[in-house]
């Protein structure tokens, strides 16, 4: 019998398969995009590639016209934490850029992001990207059916802190399914709500830690209403996967063929 959870929705086997298909497509799209992320390419060109690939496969970019957002992905460069708007900016040697892609496949969402290097990057950039990647995979390794959401935040906050980095609090992971953003909120730090909420089998959600080199504080760009930057101007990195909690443990739905696997050294 399906248990009732205060906030999250438990999916049936059929619905889980629909989410698996959405995650699989989104992962393929990430594999397609990765090689285009190079010095000299504008973030708008990346957006166009995401848009065209998605439509060519008869799917829909979830961010396009989402709450007034006009693009098919987010491209967050260097001190941009998340929700960077694709534009004229041409990627420069030494940049780090997070490409966050969400697609809708038959009404179901797949959401993931990777932080990519443009050429060789600084030691600091490499370290913060490694930290965000490891935090995501440590958190996936730490969860079990029925565990607390706070198990994720405890894992991420302690690892980031141990490496001398900070964890963004204002933006969090989320449940997803037919909706882009739904309960439960997936905090990347331990808090009261996360200690109450449990991840029951059949729950789909993202884990998407944003890790800062300097302080955890954020500034929202008031001019565009989307771009979130570090307050101190230092670097930030992020990785995201869509995950299904099954009766046997977490299943990553947005796996890729050519992206970094757990344990990867950047
Ligand atoms: N993909 C982001 C997430 O991980 C959300 C982007 S919403 C947008 O939740 F409107 F900014 F694109
Ligand atoms: Co997300
Ligand atoms: Co995302």
> Does any domain span residue 100?
yes
Residue 262 lies in a domain: no
For residue 116, the domain's CATH number is 3.90.230.10
Does 65 reside within a domain?
Answer: yes
- Please count the structural domains in the chain: 1
Beta bridge partners of 90: 42
Residue 134 Cβ inside 6 Å of ligand 1? The answer reads: no
CA dist 114 and 116 (Å) reads 6
Residue 21 neighbours by CB under 8 Å, 6+ apart: 105, 106, 108
244 occurs within a structural domain? yes
pLDDT at position 6 over 90: no
Give the closest residue (by CA) to ligand 1 atom 11: 83
* CB under 5 Å of ion ligand 3: residues: 100, 111, 240
Instruction: Let me know if residue 174 belongs to a domain.
Output: yes
Say if CB 168 and CB 210 are below 8 A apart: yes
- What is the predicted pLDDT for the residue at 4? 47
Task: Please report where in the chains the tokens 């030494």 appear, as a residue.
Answer: 94
Q: Is residue 1 part of a domain?
A: no
- Phi then psi for residue 77, to 5 deg, are -100, 130
Q: Is residue 5 part of a domain?
A: no
User: What pLDDT digit, counting tens, does each position of 14-47 carry?
Assistant: 999 999 999 999 999 999 999 999 999 999 999 9
Q: What is the DSSP letter of 90?
A: B
Interval 152-178: pLDDT, tens = 999 999 999 999 999 999 999 999 999
Q: Is 100 in the pocket of ligand 1 (CB under 6 A)?
A: yes
On average, the pLDDT of the chain sits at 97
Residue-level pLDDT at 7: 72
CB 79 within 8 A of CB 211: no
Pocket test for ligand 1, best of 76, 82, 112 (most atoms within 8 A of CB): 82
Query: Is residue 155 included in any domain, yes or no?
Result: yes
pLDDT bin (cut points 50, 70, 90) of residue 2 is very low
pLDDT in tens, 204-242: 999 999 999 999 999 999 999 999 999 999 999 999 999
Which domain covers residue 157, as residue numbers? 13-249
Cβ(226) to ligand 1 under 6 A? Answer: yes
- The average pLDDT across 59-71 equals 98
Say if ligand 1 is within 6 A of residue 240 CB.
yes
């Amino acid at each position: 019998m399906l248990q009732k959870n205060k906030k999250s929705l438990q999916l049936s086997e059929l619905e889980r398969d629909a989410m698996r298909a959405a995650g699989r497509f989104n992962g393929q799209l990430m594999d397609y995009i990765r090689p285009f992320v190079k010095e000299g390419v504008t973030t708008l060109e990346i957006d166009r590639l995401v848009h065209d690939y998605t439509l060519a496969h008869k799917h829909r970019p979830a961010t396009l016209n989402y709450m007034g957002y006009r693009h098919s992905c987010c491209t967050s460069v260097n001190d941009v934490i998340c929700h960077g708007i694709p534009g004229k900016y041409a990627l420069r040697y030494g940049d780090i850029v997070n490409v966050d892609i969400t697609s809708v496949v038959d009404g179901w969402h797949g959401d993931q992001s990777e932080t990519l290097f443009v050429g060789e990057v600084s030691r600091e950039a490499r370290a913060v990207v490694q930290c965000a990647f490891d935090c995501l995979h440590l958190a996936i390794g730490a969860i079990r059916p029925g565990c607390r959401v706070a198990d994720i935040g405890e894992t991420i906050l302690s690892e980031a802190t141990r490496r001398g980095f900070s964890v963004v609090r204002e933006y969090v992971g989320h449940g997803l399914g037919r909706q882009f953003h739904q309960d439960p909120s997936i905090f990347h730090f331990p808090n009261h709500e996360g200690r109450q909420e449990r991840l029951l089998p059949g729950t789909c959600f993202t884990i998407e830690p944003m890790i800062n080199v300097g302080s955890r504080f954020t500034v929202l760009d008031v001019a565009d209403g989307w771009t979130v930057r570090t307050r101190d101007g230092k670097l930030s990195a992020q990785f995201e996967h869509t995950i299904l909690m099954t009766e046997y443990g977490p299943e990553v739905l947005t796996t890729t063929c050519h992206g970094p696997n757990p344990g990867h050294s950047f």
